[in-house]
Structure 1
Amino acid sequence: MASKPSEPEAYVPPVHKMVDLSAFPDREAMWYLEVMEAYKLFYETLIDDFVNHKSLLKIRSDGYSLS
Structure 2
Amino acid sequence: MLRLKVEGMTCNHCVMAVKKALMKVPGVERAEVSLEKGEALVEGQADPKALVQAVEAEGYRAQVA
Fold match, TM over 0.5? no
Instruction: Using structure 2 for the length normalisation, give the TM-score.
Output: 0.28
Relative to its length, the structure with more strand (as a share) is 2
Relative to its length, the structure with more helix (as a share) is 1
Instruction: Using structure 1 for the length normalisation, give the TM-score.
Output: 0.28
Q: Choose 1 or 2 for highest CA Rg.
A: 1
Higher relative contact order (CA 8 A, sep 6+): 2
